[in-house]
Amino acid sequence: MTRRIAVLDAPTNLGLRPPTATSVPGCAKAPGALRDHDLLARLRARDAGCLTPPRYDPGDWRPGDGVCHAREISGYSALLADRIGAIIDRGEFPLVLGGDCSVLLGSALAMHRLGEAVGGRIGLVFVDGHSDFRHPGNASYVGAAAGEDLALVTGRGQADLAAIEGRRPYFRDIDVVVLGIRAQDEYRLDLQAAGITTRPVPALRAEGAARTAQWAHEQLADCAGYWVHIDVDVLDPAVMPAVDAPDPGGIAFAELEILLAGLVDTPHCLGVELTVFDPDYDQDGSYAAEIVNTVVAGLAPVSTPEAAPPRLLPQSPPAQSPPPQRTRPARVAGALSLLDSVPGGTAAPSGGLGPRRTASGGGPASTGVPPSNGGRSSDDDPPGRGPAVGGVAAPTAGPAVDGSGADVPGEPAAASGRADMPAVEPVGPPAGVGPGFLRRVSPLDDDAPDDVPRPSDGASPSSAGIA
């Protein structure tokens, strides 16, 4: 499936708390840092510009006041949705460079508009080291949208973010697949109670990245297409410490590369966003270089200059095969050992961090490694969480929905024909029989013209905020 890639910068940091009282999150610099490593040239991509976010200014916000920067995030999300929709309307493949995870709200809004226009549902593949599923039903209070984005896009949380344009939810729970969260994720049982399908790192590694990508296709076979969200903190901090919330037990660059290639190698995939890389923790640029290497290799199935509109999936899609291995920088030598095992609490590579650079728009930033809470957490959340979705407490036991077969507290091990492999039970028909196409008409109306505009509530692309 070949489409021209269009790279759009979304350098927002509005969804994170400040690292210190006098600094701002550095992830707003990520698009520029990645472009500095020839990302567009190597992808042969069109430059779709930059959507400049509002100024980062928490003001007198305090915990308990709702989501910080909510009004600014809501307005920015609507503009970002316009820009993403315009790229897809051109028959191109959007690559959105965040920024923090709050960019998902704009992408989700664009997907909901698109699903309404084509008369089908759009799914989400959420590749993240954390579930980002904190919401008023399971936490004492909320505050950082980048730690609540999955909850918001599935309709949980305050209406000015979870129901922009009166749309709620942007993605249905059954149309979401979560990949790469840690086995001990705080909200994993809440995801299970909601019916959101997950594949934590142990299951992903046991099954393999290529098979996990195919499994994600199968879960979303009933959708007209899907969006891919990638937070680079899905990577282990031994190879990627330049994030706001590093958490041991992540995947390797090689696994992310294979996973990304498998997810985009289908007309079902509508676009990708990349979030949370913080150049302030990457003094020599080597982590940015490795991200670019991985993205370029992972997007190889779509990185050609010729634009082609989405088409029908073949009835028997070809088997996914891992792309050729590349020589990796000495900086991350040994990273491939993560394919076999990831030691708990691994430290960053020697000499990898050093002082954090001064953040623009604020005073001197902090030094050392990123904070463990990454500015996403609600500081005083009690150990015992409140009720889960819909006011119903999350179960302490029940059938796992991740297919991992792993012994996870509160979840029984899934039955499997092999002791060393997780059970995989695809939901719905094989990916080859899904709709697999996006037309600007209802899929039931075969005689209607192909060029039917989107509903009037989906605003036309705006030039506001273009840098």
Q: What is the pLDDT of residues 204-261, one digit of tens each?
A: 999 999 999 999 999 999 999 999 999 999 999 999 999 999 999 999 999 999 999 9
The yes-or-no verdict on residue 194 having pLDDT over 90 is: yes
The yes-or-no verdict on residue 175 having pLDDT over 50 is: yes
Domain assignment present for 143:
yes
d(CA 453, CA 458): 10
CB-based contact 307:92 (threshold 8 Å):
yes
Domain assignment present for 17:
yes
**pTM (whole model) above 0.95:** no
Please state the φ and ψ torsions of residue 105, each to the nearest 5 degrees.
-65, -40
Characterize the bridge pairing of strands 225-231 and 122-127: parallel
Domain assignment present for 203:
yes
Domain coverage including residue 17: 5-58+67-321+384-433
- What pLDDT is stored for residue 301 in this prediction? 95
- What pLDDT is stored for residue 424 in this prediction? 34
Q: What is the pLDDT of residues 334-376, one digit of tens each?
A: 333 444 434 333 333 333 333 333 333 333 344 445 555 555 5
User: How far out from the chain centre does Cα 86 lie?
Assistant: 20
My answer on whether omega of the bond before 458 falls inside 30° of 0, hence cis, is no
The mean pLDDT of 266-291, rounded to a whole number, is 98
User: In DSSP terms, which residues pair with 47 in a beta bridge?
Assistant: 7
Q: What is the pLDDT of residues 109-142, one digit of tens each?
A: 999 999 999 999 999 999 999 999 999 999 998 9
User: How far out from the chain centre does Cα 326 lie?
Assistant: 24
The yes-or-no verdict on residue 426 having pLDDT over 60 is: no
- What pLDDT is stored for residue 322 in this prediction? 44
Domain assignment present for 443:
no
Q: Which are the contacts of 458, defined by CB distance < 8 A and separation ≥ 6?
A: 81, 82, 85, 113, 116, 117
Cβ atoms within 10 A of the Cβ of 144, count? Answer: 27
The yes-or-no verdict on residue 38 having pLDDT over 90 is: yes
Amino acid at 20: T
User: In DSSP terms, which residues pair with 411 in a beta bridge?
Assistant: 408
d(CA 390, CA 393): 9
Residue 463 DSSP one-character state? -
The mean pLDDT of 266-281, rounded to a whole number, is 98
Please state the φ and ψ torsions of residue 124, each to the nearest 5 degrees.
-135, 125
> For the chain, what is the domain count?
1
More confident position, 332 or 132 = 132
The yes-or-no verdict on residue 316 having pLDDT over 90 is: no
- What pLDDT is stored for residue 91 in this prediction? 96
Sign of CA dihedral 247, 253, 257, 258: negative
Closest Cα partner for 370 from 97, 16, 9? 16
- What pLDDT is stored for residue 370 in this prediction? 57
Averaged pLDDT of the chain: 76
CB-based contact 13:27 (threshold 8 Å):
yes
- What pLDDT is stored for residue 57 in this prediction? 95
Domain assignment present for 277:
yes
H or E, element range at 129:
none
- What pLDDT is stored for residue 2 in this prediction? 78
- What pLDDT is stored for residue 21 in this prediction? 83
The mean pLDDT of 33-57, rounded to a whole number, is 98
CATH number of the domain encompassing residue 300: 3.40.800.10
Domain assignment present for 307:
yes
The yes-or-no verdict on residue 408 having pLDDT over 60 is: no
The yes-or-no verdict on residue 180 having pLDDT over 50 is: yes
The mean pLDDT of 147-175, rounded to a whole number, is 98
Percent of the chain with pLDDT strictly greater than 70: 65
Domain assignment present for 463:
no
Q: How confident is the model at residue 37 (pLDDT cuts 50, 70, 90)?
A: very high
Cβ atoms within 10 A of the Cβ of 216, count? Answer: 26
Domain assignment present for 94:
yes
Residue 109 DSSP one-character state? H
